[in-house]
Amino acid sequence: MHKDCERIMLTEEQLRARVKEVALQVDEIYKDKRPLVVGILKGSIIFYSDFIRFLTMPVELDFMAVSSYGSGAVSSGKLNIKKDLDRDVAGRDVIIVEDIIDSGFTLANLKALLTERGAASVMIVTLLNKKDRREYDIAPDYNCFDIENEFVVGYGLDYNEQYRSLPYIGILKRSVYEK
Ligand code: PRP
């Protein structure tokens, strides 16, 4: 385990098993469709790449980069689109793949934006859900794990752009982000 982690919350095995389970449920729903799978950079990259490999229908991939957090641990309350989609979503079935839903600000705004652009449907798939932190009226359609309000890193998630490549989800030591 990385020295900056207090403990491992979700192992590689737990992640693989649950991501597969959720992906197969989503696969069943879209089997006769051709959805646009939108990954929200950067936190979702590892979850996204594992998730799409369990899908059997033809998918198209696209990405957005938005920011809601600064470099710290607290949501800033302003959604900033840093990279927009390459594809037009009008008439498309869209699956948003996100690493974590916290206050819900990012996903509430993204869903509203893609709906406004004419998406035929917008499904939200998340890896982690911090239910107790919700401030906006939005819930994932599919979520892999409900978690407590811990500072988690790894499997795509960062603190100050570090730890994204850890293959597990770890809880960051308080001393790392409080110094
Ligand atoms: C994280 C995460 C979500 C958002 C969740 O992104 O990936 O997009 O924050 O918080 P919310 O529900 O309160 O809006 P972050 O801005 O840390 O960027 P990253 O994915 O590049 O790490």
- pLDDT one-digit tens code per residue, 126-139: 999 999 999 999 99
Q: Could you tell me if the CB of 39 is within 6 A of ligand 1?
A: no
Q: What is residue 177's predicted lDDT score, i.e. its pLDDT?
A: 94
Is the pLDDT at 50 greater than 60? The verdict is: yes
How far is ligand 1, taken at its centre, from the CA of residue 83, in Å?
Answer: 14
For residues 154 and 144, give the distance between their C-alpha atoms in angstroms, rounded to a whole number.
Answer: 15
CB contact set of 23 (below 8 Å; sequence gap of 6+)? 50, 51, 52, 53, 54, 55
Q: Could you tell me if the CB of 156 is within 6 A of ligand 1?
A: no
Looking at the CA of residue 100, tell me the nearest atom of ligand 1.
Answer: 2
Is the pLDDT at 1 greater than 90? The verdict is: yes
Beta-strand runs (E) in the chain? 5-10, 36-41, 60-69, 75-83, 93-101, 121-129, 142-146, 152-153, 169-172
Q: What is residue 136's predicted lDDT score, i.e. its pLDDT?
A: 93
The predicted model scores a pTM of 0.93
Name the β-bridge partners of 2.
Answer: none
Q: What is residue 75's predicted lDDT score, i.e. its pLDDT?
A: 53
Question: Mean of the per-residue pLDDT values for the chain?
Answer: 94
